[in-house]
Amino acid sequence: MSGNDNGIVLTEEQKRRRRARSIAIALSLGVLVILFYVVTLVKGPAVLIRPL
């Protein structure tokens, strides 16, 4: 989309901050995936047993 009157044109600083936020979200999701994977390995079949 070209920068015209109908759209929002981000400044370079805003683009940099948006990119940093996106990377942070991606890293957080990656950590969550790895966490579930590792806990599954640690618990083995017991991962389905969730005591109250």
Partner 1 sequence: MSLASDGAELSRPLGPAFARAEPSLAGVEDYLALLKPRVMSLVVFTALVGLLVAPGHVHPVIGFTALLCIAIGAGASGALNMWYDADIDAVMTRTARRPIPAGRVQPGEALAFGTTLAVFSVAVFGVLVSWFAAALLAFTIFFYVFVYTMWLKRLTPQNIVIGGAAGALPPVVGWAAVTGDISLAPVLMFLIIFLWTPPHFWALSLLKSDDYARAGVPMLPVVAGLDETRRQILIYTLVLAPVGLAPSFFGFAGYLYGAVALACGAMMLILAWRVYRDRTGQAAVSAARKLFAFSLLYVFALFAALLADNLLTRLGYGL
Return the residue of 3, 36, 44, 45 that touches partner 1, per CB under 8 A: 36
Half-sphere exposure of residue 11, counting CA atoms within 13 Å on the CB side? 3
Tracing tokens 């990119």 back to the chain, one arrives at 19
Q: DSSP state, 51?
A: -
8 binds partner 1 (CB under 8 A): yes
38 binds partner 1 (CB under 8 A): yes
44 binds partner 1 (CB under 8 A): no
Q: 9: how many CB neighbours lie within 10 A of its CB? A: 11
Which residues contact partner 1 by CB under 8 A? 6-8, 10, 13-14, 17-18, 20-21, 24, 32, 35-36, 38-39, 42-43, 50-52
